[in-house]
Amino acid sequence: MADKIISPYCFSTAEKKVIKDSFKNHSDWDKSCFDDIKSALKEDLRPKQTNSCCYCKRELGFDIKEVDIEHIVPKSKYEKFTFHPKNLALSCPGCNTNKSNQPVLHKEIKIYPRSGINLTIVHPYFDCYSEHIEIHDGAIYEGLSSKGCETIKLCKLYRLKKVLEKKKEAKSKSSPIAQLVSDLANASDAEKQQIVAALGLHTNQFRGN
Ligand SMILES: [Zn+2]
């Protein structure tokens, strides 16, 4: 898990020109002329974030609806920071939607912050995540500071406990063969023999033996 993002995306001269020519207000973010820039941003930030959401730290998917470019300081209020490199991080759509346009600053700003002091939430570039939030069992979030608690509240990270419970429920309902095949991936050599034997019993049933 990346505790914080070490370096932001670096826009090329050509990309800066596209932004300068085509970005007039925050709703322009959705214009197709920025698609290539967004793809490059995602490609650059994925490894820097170890492919995890900057707020919940869960793994990001690769499909179009499984990863968002998140504006840490909302672009609706601070549109001049829409393409500020340190205002851009990757999040899961769930965290992005829940956080939405809620305020994240103690005081209004004119220039982009250089540290996390004025931020009410964990800033992915300025704050070490593990100093503010501890994750138990992959889905239970404990705030270790006021920033941690505020991040949990704004992104509704408590929602993920339910996701985990549903996942476990679905797994327990899956077929015995699917369960055995999934167990095989993490089994020791001795356990593998037992699982393969159990799989044999199941497949024999299908053969009518
Ligand atoms: Zn998330």
For residue 204, is pLDDT > 70?
A: no
Ligand 1 centroid to residue 55 C-alpha, Å? 5
Burial class (CB in 10 A: 0-12, 13-18, 19+), 199: middle
In the structure encoding, which two tokens stand for residue 35, read together? 């698609």
Quick one: pLDDT at residue 141?
95
Quick check: 56 and 94 in contact, CB under 8 A?
yes
Question: How far is ligand 1, taken at its centre, from the CA of residue 52, in Å?
Answer: 8
Q: Decide if 87 contacts 72 (C-beta within 8 A).
A: yes
Q: How far is the CA of 64 from the centre of ligand 1 (A)?
A: 15
pLDDT at residue 209, as a whole number: 47
Q: In this structure, what is the dihedral angle of CA atoms 63, 68, 69, 75, given to the nearest 10 degrees?
A: 150
Distance from the CA of 159 to the center of ligand 1, in angstroms? 10
Residue 206 has pLDDT above 70, yes or no: no
Of residues 183, 123, 187, 121, the one with CA closest to residue 148: 121
pLDDT digits (tens, 9 = 90+) for 11-67: 999 999 999 999 999 899 999 999 999 999 999 999 999 999 999 999 999 987 899
pLDDT tens-digit series, residues 84-108: 999 999 999 999 999 999 999 999 9
Ligand 1 center–CA 6 separation, angstroms:
19
CA dist., res. 58 & res. 52, Å (int): 5
- Tell me the β-bridge partners of 88: 71
Percent composition of the chain: helix, strand, coil (DSSP 3-state, to 5) = 50, 10, 40
Total length of the chain: 209
- String of DSSP letters for 136-186: ETTTEEEESSHHHHHHHHHTTTTHHHHHHHHHHHHHHHS-HHHHHHHHHTT
% residues pLDDT > 90 (the chain)? 71
Backbone angles phi, psi at 174, to 5 degrees: -70, 165
Lookup: tokens for 134: 């501890």
Residue 163 has a pLDDT of 78
Write the pLDDT tens digit of every residue in 106-149. 999 999 999 999 999 999 999 999 999 999 988 899 999 999 99
pLDDT at position 175 over 80: no
Q: Does the pLDDT of residue 174 top 70, yes or no?
A: no
Residues near ion ligand 1 (CB < 5 Å) are 53, 55-56, 92, 95
- Distance in Å, CA 16 to ligand 1 centroid: 28
Residue 5 contacts residue 89 (beta carbons within 8 Å): yes
Q: How confident is the model at residue 71 (pLDDT cuts 50, 70, 90)?
A: very high
pTM of the model: 0.80
Question: 96 alpha carbon to ligand 1 midpoint, in Å?
Answer: 7
